[in-house]
């Protein structure tokens, strides 16, 4: 339950230099703004974060988590150098 910048020092001392992050939960609540926040925060850490694409936001049509991302919106992330 830490932002990337705070997570990095904890794992670096054990030799972990890179991780894969799934933005799904934050994307469910904040949408693309949440993903952008994660990416920007991770850039300030001394650790390499790789991000997966949130593939289903929301998970189901009846879910009311706060945000939705369609395939066009998520596709912009594969074009960016995060």
Using alpha carbons, select from 40, 52, 47 the residue that is nearest to residue 18. Answer: 47
Sign of the CA dihedral with 81 first, then 51, 53, and 34 last: negative
Domain span at residue 47? 31-75
pTM (2 d.p.): 0.77
41 three-class SS:
helix
- Pull the structure tokens for residue 23: 């933005």
Each residue's pLDDT tens digit in the chain (82 positions)? 788 999 999 999 999 999 998 888 888 888 889 889 999 999 989 899 998 877 777 767 777 777 888 777 877 776 555 4
State the total domains in the chain.
Answer: 1
- The Cα 48–Cα 41 span in angstroms is 12
Q: What are the E-state strand segments in 2-66?
A: 18-21, 48-51
Q: Is residue 18 part of a domain?
A: no
Q: Is residue 66 part of a domain?
A: yes
Q: Is residue 1 part of a domain?
A: no
Q: Is residue 14 part of a domain?
A: no
């Amino acid at each position: 339950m830490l932002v990337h910048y705070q997570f990095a020092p904890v794992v670096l001392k054990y030799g972990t230099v890179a991780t894969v992050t799934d933005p799904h939960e934050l994307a469910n609540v904040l949408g693309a703004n949440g993903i952008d926040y994660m990416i920007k925060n991770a850039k300030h850490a001394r650790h390499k974060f790789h991000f997966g694409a949130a593939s289903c936001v929301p998970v189901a049509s009846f879910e009311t988590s706060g945000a939705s991302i369609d395939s066009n919106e998520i596709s912009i992330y594969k074009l960016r150098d995060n």
